[in-house]
Structure 1
Amino acid sequence: MAKKKNFEIGGPAPAPVIPIFPLNTADRAGSASVDILLPNGRVKQVDYSEYLGLGFNDTVLAIVGVLRAMVVAGKPEPLSLETIANSGLVNWWQFCKERAEQENPPVLASINRSTMESYAGWLTMRVTPEGEPWSKNTARTAFAKTKTILQGLVERRLLAGSDLFPRNLFPGATSTQNRRAYIRPLSDTERERILRPLSLEVAQVFDGTHPGSALTQLSLCVFAIFLKTGVNATPFLELPRDLGNCFLDHPRVNRKVLVTFKRRAGAFTTTPLEPAETKVVSLDVYKLCQRVVEMTESEAESAVGTQLEGQLWLYQMADGALRTLSTQELSGVANAFTGRHKLIRDDGSRLKMSSQLFRNTKINRVWRASKGDLLATAKSASNTPAVAERYLTVTPDMLEEHRLAGEVLVDMLSEKAGRDATPHSGCKDSLNGELAPKNGEHCIDFLSCFRCKSQVIIQEDLHKLFSFYWALFAQRSRVGSDNWKKLFAWIVRVIDRDIAPRFSPTIVAREKERARNEPHPMWRSNAVQSALRSVL
Structure 2
Amino acid sequence: MSSKKNFKIQTNNLIPVDFVKNNISTDLVFITNKGKVDFNRWNYLDRPKSDALLSATFMDREQLVLDLFNAVNQLSHELSKTTVEFLAAEGCKQLFQFLDHKFKQGQGIVISSIDQITRSTIDDILIWIRNKPAKTETGKLSTLGARRHYTSIKSLLNYFVQQGRLSSEIFPYSPFVNVNRSGKGTEAYSKSEYSRLIRFLWSQISAVRNNNFNGCFNQKLVIYALMIAAKTGRNTSSILNMQTDCIQPHPLVPDTHVLLTTYKKRGMNTSVQAMRISYELEDVYAAHKDVGVLIKEVCELTAPLRNNEIKSDLFITKSKKGICRLSEVNFWKSVQSLYTKAGLINDQGKELKFQVKRMRKTFGNRIWQLTGGDPVKTARIMGNTTPVLNTHYLDVSPEMERNHKYLGHVITHTLSGNKFDNEFKSSLSRALEIDVDNVNKILIGDFNTGVGRCSDPYTGRYASKGGIACTRFLACFKCPNQVVLESDLHRLFSFYWLLIKERGFIGKRKWKKNYSWVVKVIETEIEPIFCNDLVCEIKERARVQPHPMWVERMSLIAI
Equivalent residue, structure 2, for 1:120: 126
Cα distance in 2 for residues equivalent to 1:346 and 1:25: 61
**Structure 1 unaligned residues grouped into runs of 5+:** 1-22, 37-41, 272-278, 406-432, 451-463, 478-483, 500-527
Equivalent residue, structure 2, for 1:32: 28
**Structure 1 residues 493, 205: closer, same or farther in 2, change over 3 A?**
farther
Equivalent residue, structure 1, for 2:338: 337
* Pairs within 5 Å for 1:424-503: 437=490, 445=494, 447=496, 471=507, 473-475=509-511, 484=514, 489-491=517-519
Amino acid of the structure 1 residue aligned with 2:336: N
Cα distance in 2 for residues equivalent to 1:59 and 1:121: 22
Cα distance in 1 for residues equivalent to 2:495 and 2:71: 58
Amino acid of the structure 1 residue aligned with 2:378: T
Cα distance in 2 for residues equivalent to 1:235 and 1:128: 33
Amino acid of the structure 2 residue aligned with 1:164: I
Contact 1:371 1:398 in 2 (8 A): no
Equivalent residue, structure 2, for 1:505: none
Cα distance in 2 for residues equivalent to 1:529 and 1:35: 61
**Structure 1 residues 437, 260: closer, same or farther in 2, change over 3 A?**
closer
* Pairs within 5 Å for 1:70-149: 70-71=75-76, 74-103=77-106, 104=108, 105-108=110-113, 109-126=115-132, 129-130=135-136, 133-149=140-156
* Pairs within 5 Å for 1:74-473: 74-103=77-106, 104=108, 105-108=110-113, 109-126=115-132, 129-130=135-136, 133-156=140-163, 159-161=165-167, 163-173=169-179, 176-178=180-182, 180-241=183-244, 243=245, 245-247=246-248, 249-252=250-253, 253-264=255-266, 267-271=280-284, 279-301=285-307, 304-305=308-309, 308-317=310-319, 319=320, 321-390=322-391, 391-394=393-396, 396=400, 401=407, 437=490, 445=494, 447=496, 471=507, 473=509
Equivalent residue, structure 2, for 1:461: none
Amino acid of the structure 2 residue aligned with 1:363: G
RMSD: 4.1
Equivalent residue, structure 1, for 2:533: none
Cα distance in 1 for residues equivalent to 2:526 and 2:316: 49
Cα distance in 2 for residues equivalent to 1:286 and 1:315: 20
How many angstroms does 1:111 deviate by? 1.4
Q: TM-score, normalised by structure 1?
A: 0.66
Tell me the alpha carbon deviations over residues 81-125 of structure 1, each in whole angstroms, 9 at most, x when there is no partner. Answer: 122224333322222221222234332253111111111232333
How many angstroms does 1:314 deviate by? 1.2
**Structure 1 residues 532, 224: closer, same or farther in 2, change over 3 A?**
farther
Contact 1:401 1:490 in 2 (8 A): no
Larger radius of gyration: 2
Amino acid of the structure 2 residue aligned with 1:313: F
Partner SS state of residue 281, structure 2: strand
How many angstroms does 1:235 deviate by? 1.8
Amino acid of the structure 2 residue aligned with 1:117: D
How many angstroms does 1:531 deviate by? 7.9
Cα distance in 1 for residues equivalent to 2:555 and 2:343: 43
Tell me the alpha carbon deviations over residues 149-199 of structure 1, each in whole angstroms, 9 at most, x when there is no partner. Answer: 223234445x442632222222223xx413x53111011111111111111
Cα distance in 2 for residues equivalent to 1:262 and 1:375: 21
Cα distance in 1 for residues equivalent to 2:522 and 2:345: 26
Equivalent residue, structure 2, for 1:48: 39
Partner SS state of residue 261, structure 1: strand
How many angstroms does 1:325 deviate by? 1.9
How many angstroms does 1:229 deviate by? 1.1
How many angstroms does 1:398 deviate by? 7.6
Cα distance in 1 for residues equivalent to 2:25 and 2:552: 56
**Structure 1 residues 322, 53: closer, same or farther in 2, change over 3 A?**
same
**Structure 1 residues 294, 498: closer, same or farther in 2, change over 3 A?**
farther
Amino acid of the structure 2 residue aligned with 1:291: E
Cα distance in 2 for residues equivalent to 1:498 and 1:86: 56
Higher relative contact order (CA 8 A, sep 6+): 1
Cα distance in 2 for residues equivalent to 1:403 and 1:235: 48
How many angstroms does 1:388 deviate by? 0.7
Partner SS state of residue 186, structure 1: coil
Contact 2:339 2:353 in 1 (8 A): yes
Contact 2:247 2:258 in 1 (8 A): no
How many angstroms does 1:364 deviate by? 0.8
Q: TM-score, normalised by structure 2?
A: 0.63
Query: How many residue pairs were aligned?
Result: 409
**Structure 1 residues 403, 184: closer, same or farther in 2, change over 3 A?**
farther
Contact 2:24 2:40 in 1 (8 A): no
Partner SS state of residue 263, structure 1: strand
Equivalent residue, structure 1, for 2:69: 64
**Structure 1 residues 184, 154: closer, same or farther in 2, change over 3 A?**
closer
How many angstroms does 1:63 deviate by? 0.2
Contact 1:239 1:246 in 2 (8 A): no
**Structure 1 residues 437, 200: closer, same or farther in 2, change over 3 A?**
closer
**Structure 2 unaligned residues grouped into runs of 5+:** 1-18, 46-58, 268-278, 412-485, 528-550
Amino acid of the structure 2 residue aligned with 1:385: T
**Structure 1 residues 97, 444: closer, same or farther in 2, change over 3 A?**
farther
**Structure 1 residues 473, 51: closer, same or farther in 2, change over 3 A?**
closer
**Structure 1 residues 471, 102: closer, same or farther in 2, change over 3 A?**
closer
Amino acid of the structure 1 residue aligned with 2:28: A
Amino acid of the structure 2 residue aligned with 1:191: Y
Tell me the alpha carbon deviations over residues 247-280 of structure 1, each in whole angstroms, 9 at most, x when there is no partner. Answer: 4534212311211112349631224xxxxxxx52
